[in-house]
């Protein structure tokens, strides 16, 4: 008698598990990674090649008219543009001379070209609805870096004109996106030469400044700098208002809680259905285990059933004992 009740309970739990699995609650994600594998062919391939012959690698050759012979020289690393990265960037369909003076076709480049004014994102993208350039511009103007504009800071400092490519955040490339986005900040914040171009501020040791964060490297690989340093804005996919350091996120439970702020920032791009999936923060669980943020409502429910079941078994046991 006791045994059959026990067996019944086990069977009940088992069927529950199986049906949950069939419903896809414990689904294993195996969507194939979609990549833009189709090679891009620029209409300006030949045109740009005039520049890539010198700017595409570490050495270039020019004819010295006075000496009447070819001279080989090293290209400054800052002046090298990687062709493959250029043709994968957002502005891959551009000719170099869309943004730069066509005078650059001549070498040596005329000195006054250095003074050439440069176009800003908003000059071409103003009024854009998809990426909210105007909203971003507005936020940027309130951000902590904006005061460095006079020193030469601009959108281009974070969005390299020749390599920046927008990253579509999906659960497949999330780690890549995080690394890519953090590299944007570290370009200056771990390279004092670049940092110094813009400020007299003494060097900031990024590692030291964040040593209050346990397992810093795991955190930096799982969250972006902008998660903690920007103000979340519902209307912008990527918040651009970098706040003063005193307002950065420091409280652990901003992320390590059921309504983790990561849902409003890092995981904003994930579809609503994916967010549900039985887990309160299903999508976070997909990527990493964020203590406190990952809980499963079915597991909660099942533990109640099991708990109830145990109580029932004990109850029945006691009942038969007393009535023996």
Preceding amide of 108 cis, omega within 30: yes
CA distance 172 to 310: 41
CA distance 249 to 230: 9
Segment contacting ligand HEC (CB under 6 A): 11-19, 31-39, 116-124, 305-313?
Answer: 116-124
Token digits of residue 289? 């285990």
Closest approach, Cβ 270 to ligand HEC, in A, equals 14
8 A C-beta contact, residue 164 and residue 92: no
8 A C-beta contact, residue 167 and residue 176: yes
Task: State which residue, 34 or 93, has the beta carbon closest to ligand HEC.
Answer: 93
Task: State which residue, 15 or 216, has the beta carbon closest to ligand HEC.
Answer: 216
Is residue 14 a contact point for ligand HEC (CB under 6 A)? no
CA distance 206 to 186: 9
Task: State which residue, 132 or 296, has the beta carbon closest to ligand HEC.
Answer: 132
- Residue from 13, 17, 204, 316 that binds ligand HEC (CB under 6 A)? 204
Restricted to residues 141-170, the positions that interact with ligand HEC (CB under 6 A) are 144-145, 148, 155-159, 161-162, 166-167
The closest alpha carbon to 88, from 168, 183, 162, belongs to 162
CA distance 309 to 70: 88
Give the total of residues touching ligand HEC (CB under 6 A): 99
8 A C-beta contact, residue 236 and residue 139: yes
Is residue 311 a contact point for ligand HEC (CB under 6 A)? no
Task: State which residue, 148 or 316, has the beta carbon closest to ligand HEC.
Answer: 148
CA distance 281 to 257: 10
Restricted to residues 255-294, the positions that interact with ligand HEC (CB under 6 A) are 255-256, 262, 288, 290-291
- Residue from 9, 17, 54, 313 that binds ligand HEC (CB under 6 A)? 54
Restricted to residues 212-251, the positions that interact with ligand HEC (CB under 6 A) are 212-215, 218-220, 222-223, 225-229, 237-238, 240, 242, 244-245, 248-250
CA distance 298 to 276: 12
CA distance 120 to 149: 12
Closest approach, Cβ 27 to ligand HEC, in A, equals 20
Is residue 85 a contact point for ligand HEC (CB under 6 A)? no
8 A C-beta contact, residue 167 and residue 181: yes
Segment contacting ligand HEC (CB under 6 A): 1-9, 10-18, 55-63, 314-322?
Answer: 55-63
Closest approach, Cβ 271 to ligand HEC, in A, equals 15
Task: State which residue, 4 or 29, has the beta carbon closest to ligand HEC.
Answer: 29
């Amino acid at each position: 008698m006791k045994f059959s009740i026990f067996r019944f309970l086990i069977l009940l739990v088992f069927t529950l598990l199986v049906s949950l699995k069939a419903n896809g609650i414990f689904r294993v994600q195996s969507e194939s990674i979609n990549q833009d594998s189709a090679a891009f062919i620029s209409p300006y391939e030949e045109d740009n090649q005039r520049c890539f012959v010198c700017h595409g690698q570490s050495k270039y050759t020019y004819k010295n008219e006075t000496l009447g012979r070819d001279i080989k020289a090293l290209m400054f690393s800052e002046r090298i543009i990687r062709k493959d990265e250029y043709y994968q960037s957002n502005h891959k369909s551009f000719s170099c001379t869309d943004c730069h003076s066509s005078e650059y076709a001549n070498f040596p480049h005329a000195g006054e070209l250095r003074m050439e004014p440069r176009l800003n994102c908003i000059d071409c993208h103003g009024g854009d609805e998809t990426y909210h350039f105007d909203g971003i511009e507005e936020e940027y103007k309130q951000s902590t870096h904006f005061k460095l504009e006079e020193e030469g800071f601009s959108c281009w400092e974070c969005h390299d004109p020749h390599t920046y490519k927008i990253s579509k955040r999906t659960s497949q490339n999330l780690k890549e996106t995080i690394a890519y986005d953090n590299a944007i900040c570290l370009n200056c914040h771990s390279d004092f030469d670049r940092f110094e171009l813009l400020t007299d501020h003494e060097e900031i040791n990024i590692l030291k400044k964040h040593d209050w964060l346990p397992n810093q490297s795991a955190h930096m690989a799982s969250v972006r700098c902008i998660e903690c340093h920007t103000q979340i804005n519902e209307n912008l996919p990527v918040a651009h208002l970098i706040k003063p350091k005193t307002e950065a996120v420091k409280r652990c439970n901003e992320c390590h809680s059921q309504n983790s702020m990561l849902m409003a920032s890092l995981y904003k791009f994930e579809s609503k259905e994916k967010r549900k999936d039985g887990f309160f923060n299903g999508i976070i669980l997909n990527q990493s285990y964020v203590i406190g943020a990952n809980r499963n409502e079915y597991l909660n429910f099942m533990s109640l059933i099991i708990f109830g079941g145990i109580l029932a078994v004990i109850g029945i046991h006691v009942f038969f004992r007393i009535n023996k």
